[in-house]
């Protein structure tokens, strides 16, 4: 069976306050669709106090503009062969909104339903050295516990040298919205994750 004909389900699960991580998530979803995967784009629920959100115009506008995107559920995780997790950094770690969703996974984790899937992560920070690598590593710490297969972009393609983050696609908010380069790098990371999942699936199926 040709590798590109192996069916793969991709869940892009993310949190975004003002839209930068959302833009990367959309790029990931688009790339997965182009690879022939079944795709679910899901945002985790907003848990920040209403008055805090309302005090930041960009935050409030983005929340309203993305209400049509379904909330992430545990079913999205168990359904997926590939899970792409996106978050802005919060003091060098993932946002509490995504962490709260992750903290609801104990039951499916205990049942072994999160193991042997392909996982990869992406982020956006406001400053150039605002914790991009530590944020991604904080996400990958979760995957170790889940028993997943972490597939970072590495330096597996020349495009990776354009931004230089082998841990996952990252963006600096102070420089403006994600550019076409960010979307292209996110697409490469997604293709790499999908290809790896297909290879794992084909290998398992060949063993009978």
Question: Over 90: is that where the pLDDT of 157 sits?
Answer: yes
Q: Tens digit of pLDDT for each residue in 62-119?
A: 999 999 999 999 999 999 999 999 999 999 999 999 999 999 999 999 999 999 999 9
Nearest Cα neighbor of 81 from 208, 195, 206, 207 is: 195
What share of the chain in percent tops pLDDT 90? 87
| pLDDT exceeds cutoff 80 at 2 | no
pLDDT digits (tens, 9 = 90+) for 38-71: 999 999 999 999 999 999 999 899 999 999 999 9
Q: CA separation (Å) from 26 to 85, 87, 140, 164?
A: 12, 13, 21, 21
How far apart are the C-alpha atoms of 107 and 58, rounded to whole Å? 36
- The pLDDT value recorded for residue 163 is 86
Q: Provide the CB-side half-sphere exposure for 4 (13 A, CA).
A: 6
Residue 4 is predicted with a pLDDT of 76
Q: In the prediction, which pLDDT does 129 show?
A: 85
Res. 6 pLDDT band, cuts 50 70 90: confident
Domains of the chain, first to last:
3-206 (3.40.50.360)
pTM here is: 0.95
Q: Would you place residue 208 in the very low, low, confident or very high pLDDT band (cuts 50, 70, 90)?
A: low
Q: How much is the pLDDT for 1?
A: 60
Coil, strand or helix: which one is 208?
Answer: coil
């Amino acid at each position: 069976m040709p590798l590109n004909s192996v069916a793969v389900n991709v869940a892009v699960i993310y949190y975004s306050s003002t839209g930068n991580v959302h833009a990367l998530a959309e790029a990931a979803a688009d790339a997965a669709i182009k690879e022939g995967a079944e795709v679910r784009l899901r945002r985790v629920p907003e848990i920040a106090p209403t008055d805090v959100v309302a005090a930041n115009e960009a935050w409030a506008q983005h929340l309203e503009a993305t209400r049509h995107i379904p909330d992430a559920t545990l079913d999205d995780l168990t359904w997926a062969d590939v899970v792409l997790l996106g978050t802005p950094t919060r003091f060098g770690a993932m946002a509490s909104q995504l962490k709260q969703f992750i903290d609801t996974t104990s039951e499916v984790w205990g049942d072994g339903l999160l193991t042997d899937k392909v996982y990869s992560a992406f982020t956006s920070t406001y400053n150039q050295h605002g914790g991009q690598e530590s944020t991604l590593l904080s996400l990958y710490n979760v995957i170790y516990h889940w028993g997943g297969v972490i597939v970072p972009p590495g330096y597996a393609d020349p495009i990776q040298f354009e931004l230089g983050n082998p841990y996952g696609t990252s963006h600096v908010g102070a420089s403006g919205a994600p550019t076409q380069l960010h979307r292209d790098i996110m697409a490469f990371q997604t293709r790499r994750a999908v290809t790896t999942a297909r290879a794992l699936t084909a290998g398992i199926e060949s063993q009978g």
